[in-house]
Amino acid sequence: QQACAAPRCAAARPRARDEGQAVVMASSDRFNVNISFSRNWEHLQNKHVGTGHPDLPKFEWAVNHHRDSLASHVGHYDLLSYFAVAEGASVARTRLNMLEKMLQPCGPPPDKGGP
């Protein structure tokens, strides 16, 4: 058989990306994202207070997480009314309880461990 040079022939069509090439491109894209992320780390820290840092204690991370969740629940009326129905209380009482819980959402802070 002769090799076909026509564009509609399967041998002449460009092949799809090889698996190895796709992996290389994906890892290079991942590398570029990490570089741009590290360049903007300080900006992200200033913009989003709760993002934390590598030395952030577990308790502080949990407090940030709980406060963000409670703020979202209070800010979205439909979700707030859902919680109010589940608790059997009024929406205003549920909002007040959530706002009070934001003061110490995970209880009192742990001791520093010093004498």
pLDDT in tens, the chain (115 residues): 555 555 555 555 555 554 444 444 455 555 565 666 666 777 777 777 667 777 788 898 899 899 999 999 999 999 999 999 999 999 999 999 999 999 999 999 988 765 5
Proportion of the chain above pLDDT 90, given as a percent: 41
**Residue 52 CB-half CA count within 13 A:** 12
pLDDT, residue 48, reads: 72
pLDDT, residue 40, reads: 74
pTM for the whole thing? 0.57
